[in-house]
């Protein structure tokens, strides 16, 4: 079975495993207070052109999302997000479990707009009974989105301006950030994301690490006592150097960006094969996630050799599915899938 179901099916990049083995018997301070975490923080600050940013390492995406969101919001506030946002549909109510509501906004492609943020904000404050309603307290977006789509620079700039005007911190979920940055359609750099958001995270789990996400806080108002929240939410790894080592390696010699680019390039080959076969696309993604619409009969044949993710039924005889490449996807696996697509 060749797996294209998601982008976290493999372990870690060999360079990470090599470094972990080399340092296995070193004795270092715990809880992220070690030289490897500090080296990784320095590299991330430099790449973000944000020397004053706070950088924290957590284990996984859901943990990161509810830690950041609970740190930002007051008890009566909620987070504005796309209806398809990860915090709304794929985190088992983790945000709600912290006492906060996800205020879902309609979205066809996974993105939300500055106009939607303003409309939701004004609708709340113009309601005579606003004190009886959850108050919008922040904005959550994903880049790339759960649908593989990307924010254009102008879109993120508009969101940033509106959020700052309205006093709403902007949080960008970067679980697949590498695949977004290295997309052939990317118009955003890491430093621009750092400049335009209040807090974001760089995903490692899906981009070469065994596990780990790097939270970057640029808004000074959000920095205070964040480590208390990490500890309280079970995110402070005693052997914190295991996170520091991974990000230190990923941000050495351009590794993070190179492996993400490779995954995107393979995904573009798959996209071209689907289109050449005459299949439609549920979303026009230029990242490592592709969403073709296939006849169910063809999907049944592909399922004999390949795993993929079911997305939604389009009609009685067609379904949208997700094929993911990752940092570890082999060219030979993509070659085989393309050959079988052509043979359908």
Q: Are both 273 and 208 inside the same structural domain?
A: no
Residue at a domain's end among 198, 221, 250: 250
Q: What is the pTM of this model?
A: 0.97
Give me the pLDDT at residue 22, please: 98
Do 197 and 280 fall into the same domain?
A: no
Domain tally, the chain: 2
**Co-location of 225 and 328 in the same domain:** no
Would you state the pLDDT for residue 297?
96
Mean pLDDT for back-to-back runs of 10 residues, the chain (344 residues): 96 98 98 98 98 98 98 98 97 96 97 98 98 98 98 98 98 98 98 98 98 98 98 96 98 98 98 98 98 97 96 96 98 98 95
**pLDDT score, position 107:** 98
Secondary structure of the chain in the HEC alphabet?
CEECCCCCCCCCCHHHHHHHHHCCCCCCCCCCCCHHHHHHHHHHHHHHCCCCCEEEEECCHHHHHHHHHHHHCCCCEEEEEECCCHHHHCCCCHHHHCCCEEEEECCCCCCCCHHHHHHHHHHHHCCCCHHHCCEEEEEEEECCCCCCCCCCHHHHHHHHHHHHHHCCCEEEECCCHHHHHCCCCCCCCHHHHHHHCCEEEEECCCCCCCCCEEEEECCHHHCCCHHHHHHHCCCCCCCCHHHHHHHHHHCCCCHHHHHHHHHHHHHHHHHHHHHHCCCEECCCCCCCEECEEEEHHHHHHHCCCEECEEEEECCCCEEEEEEECCCCCCHHHHHHHHHHHHHC
Question: What pLDDT, on a 0 to 100 scale, did the predictor assign at position 323?
Answer: 98
Range of the domain at 232: 14-250
CATH number for the domain that contains residue 289: 3.90.1150.10
243 & 268 share domain: no
| 268 and 154 assigned to the same domain | no
Both 213 and 278 in one domain: the answer is no
Final residue before a domain boundary, out of 250, 267, 297: 250
Domain boundary among 226, 250, 274: 250
pLDDT of residue 309: 96
Q: What is the pLDDT of residue 276?
A: 97
Say yes or no: 135 and 154 in one domain: yes
């Amino acid at each position: 079975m060749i797996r294209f179901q998601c982008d976290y099916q493999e372990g870690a990049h060999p360079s990470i495993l090599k470094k972990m083995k080399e340092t296995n018997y070193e004795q270092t301070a715990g809880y992220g207070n070690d030289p490897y975490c500090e080296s990784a923080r320095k590299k991330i600050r430099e790449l973000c052109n944000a020397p004053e940013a706070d950088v924290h390492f957590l284990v996984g995406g859901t943990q990161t999302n509810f830690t950041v969101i609970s740190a930002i919001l007051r008890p009566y506030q909620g987070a504005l997000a796309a209806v398809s946002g990860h915090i709304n549909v794929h985190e088992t109510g983790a945000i709600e479990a912290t006492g906060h509501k996800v205020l879902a906004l309609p979205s066809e492609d996974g993105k939300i707009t500055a106009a939607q943020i303003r409309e939701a904000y004004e609708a709340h404050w113009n309601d005579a009974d606003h004190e009886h309603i959850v108050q919008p307290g922040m904005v959550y977006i994903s880049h790339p989105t759960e649908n593989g789509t990307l924010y254009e620079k102008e879109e993120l700039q508009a969101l940033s301006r509106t959020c700052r005007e309205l006093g709403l911190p902007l949080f960008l979920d970067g679980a697949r950030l590498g695949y977004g940055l290295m997309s052939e359609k990317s118009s955003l750099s890491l430093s621009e994301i750092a400049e335009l958001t209040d807090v974001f995270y760089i995903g490692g789990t899906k981009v070469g690490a065994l596990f780990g996400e790097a939270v970057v806080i640029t808004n000074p108002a959000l920095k205070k006592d964040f480590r208390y929240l990490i500890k309280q939410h079970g995110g402070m790894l005693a052997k914190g150097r295991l996170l520091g080592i991974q990000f230190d390696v990923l941000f050495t010699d351009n590794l993070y960006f190179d492996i993400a680019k490779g995954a995107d390039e393979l995904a573009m080959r798959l996209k071209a094969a689907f289109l050449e076969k005459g299949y439609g696309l549920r979303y026009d993604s230029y990242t490592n996630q592709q969403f073709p619409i296939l006849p169910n009969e063809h999907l049944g044949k592909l399922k004999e050799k390949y795993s993929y993710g079911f997305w939604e039924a389009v009609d009685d005889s067609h379904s949208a599915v997700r094929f993911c490449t990752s940092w570890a996807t082999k060219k030979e696996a993509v070659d085989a899938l393309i050959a079988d697509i052509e043979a359908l």
